[in-house]
Amino acid sequence: METEKIIDESVQGEALLMPSKIPNGKKLFLESYGCQMNFSDSEIVASILIDKGFTTTQNFEEADVIFVNTCAIRDNAENRVRQRLQDYKRVKRHNPDAVIGVLGCMAERLKSQFLEEEKLVDLVVGPDAYRDLPNLIEQAESGQKAINVILSKEETYADIAPLRLDKNGVSAFVSIMRGCDNMCSFCVVPFTRGRERSRDPESILKECRDAFEAGYREVTLLGQNVDSYLYSGGGLKKEKLTEEQKLASVNFAQLLDKVALVNPDLRVRFSTSHPKDMTDDVLEVMAKHENICNNIHLPVQSGSSKVLEMMNRGYTREWYLDRIAAIRHIIPGCGISTDIITGFCGETDEDQQLTLSLMQEVGYDFAFMFAYSERPKTLAERKYKDDVPEPVKMKRLQEVVALQRQLSEAATKKQVGYVHKVLIEGFSKKSEDMLMGRNSQNSVVVFPKLHYKKGDYVNVMVSSCTSSTLIGEVV
């Protein structure tokens, strides 16, 4: 998520009609696009509005308030949101008082443009202003254009218990920090989510305990760059802390250790790591606890040190491969995934070959792969020319995708013949006689249902596989 990967899916009011403290008769429809952080934010939004009397609906046609939580990382994501807003406007025909709003990163980037120029929505709210939603909805209902895109240096929503909107009731997202201090030249996140701030570890631990008691058996700790998590009791910024204060603070390795101790039956994942900040301390904590999953998402973006420097990533090819070597040494068999961008400014055929060779050297289990999309106000837009022709970007992307398909298939085959501990998430896509879950490396495992159920742990002997799925029997 450190590059805010696009998950081209949406969550459409996945909560059932939830009871409110004092029902106000109004229905909320909430749809999310983009990274895991957006889905986590939507749970905060739902919690705030349920507390004010709203119930949720999965049908936007019957909603009184319609929100889309947006991503601004690529043109494609923004175009999809605009198309969706045209669908939402149909509701106004039979419910003129309905409020349509844009939340999140796209709201932060375009601000009043949605209200004044495009006239697509009634309400625009940035990711740090969700507490103001009840007031803004009232403004919009009275005919005023409502907007709050003020970024905060303190807001973490630590005191708000999220309303879980997930489908499976097994895995939960837990945000541990907000914002980003890395100024990668291609990325809009620092401009749409503000400066980095870490959440109180006690509130994180409480949320993890509450999730476990509610039946969840896996949490994913979320942050734009989890490795830079650092909480000091005084709330001071990292750069203002003395060495003594830093020693008294809680860093990510220490937080990870604390979360793992919540319950041995609570699996722990995290996303996203940054190569320049990942320390051996984190890897050693992972190796220490069986319930911390052996899976790391470590975005590389490019295999060329020249391109990495232009991207302002803060590391070289050699540094990145050193981190990979440390992972392999400290956590043998760890699953590794990544992000790759093709066609960045000034990228040559030689740079492309360096990316392909790094992919082969690492042997990624999985990758999010994109062609470069220039974003307004980023350093790359101001400083560099977007000079790689679109057909070349796409050709290079196809090469990366083709190679990763081979690497993913090879990584899957390596797991055949072993017993894997699997957390059951539900039925397989193809048959209700089969269950599916994931192993520690995040690979999908399918096996006969028998008497097992969602949320159970089972040991599965894997005997065969498809290109991306492991198949076996419970032992």
Q: Are 12 and 58 in contact (CB under 8 A)?
A: yes
pLDDT per residue as tens digits for the range 303-326:
999 999 999 999 999 999 999 999
Whether pLDDT at 195 is above 70: yes
Q: Which tens digit of pLDDT belongs to each residue from 154-181?
A: 999 999 999 888 767 899 999 999 999 9
Q: Which of 107-116, 283-292, 303-312, 425-434 has the lowest mean pLDDT?
A: 107-116
Q: Which of 164, 78, 60, 68 is nearest to 124 (CA)?
A: 68
As a whole number of angstroms, the distance between CA 127 and CA 269 comes to 23
Instruction: Indicate whether 259 pLDDT > 50.
Output: yes
Sheet holding 335-342, edge to edge: 295-297, 335-342, 366-371
Check whether 252 has a pLDDT greater than 90: yes
Which of 159, 200, 165 minimizes the C-alpha distance to 30? 165
pLDDT band at 239 (very low <50, low <70, confident <90, very high): low
Looking at per-residue confidence, does 109 or 237 come out higher? 109
Q: How many Å is the Cα radius of gyration of the chain?
A: 22
Nearest CA among 173, 147, 171 for reference residue 162: 173
Please give the average per-residue pLDDT across 401-422, as a whole number: 98
Whole-number pLDDT of residue 237: 60
User: What's the distance, CA 442 to chain centroid?
Assistant: 15
Q: What is the distance between the alpha carbons of residues 167 and 326, in angstroms, rounded to a whole number?
A: 36
Domains of the chain: 7-148 (3.40.50.12160), 168-293 (3.30.750.210), 300-414 (3.30.750.200), 419-474 (2.40.50.140)
| pLDDT, position 91 | 86
